[in-house]
Amino acid sequence: MAKSELDSISEGGSHPGAYVKDAGNLLITKEMSGQVDPVIIAMLLGEVRIDIAHEQGSDHPCEPSTPYDGISLNYVSVGINAASNDMETEEITLDFGQSAKIQETGELQRQRRCLE
pTM, rounded to two decimals: 0.53
pLDDT digits (tens, 9 = 90+) for 4-35: 777 776 676 666 677 776 656 556 666 666 67
Q: What is the 8-class DSSP label of residue 97?
A: E
User: CA 72: distance to chain centroid?
Assistant: 6
Distance in angstroms (rounded) separating the CA atoms of residues 39 and 113:
32
Q: Which of 104, 46, 48 is nearest to 76 (CA)?
A: 48
- Average pLDDT, stretch 47-68? 89
Q: Give percent of the chain above pLDDT 70.
A: 78
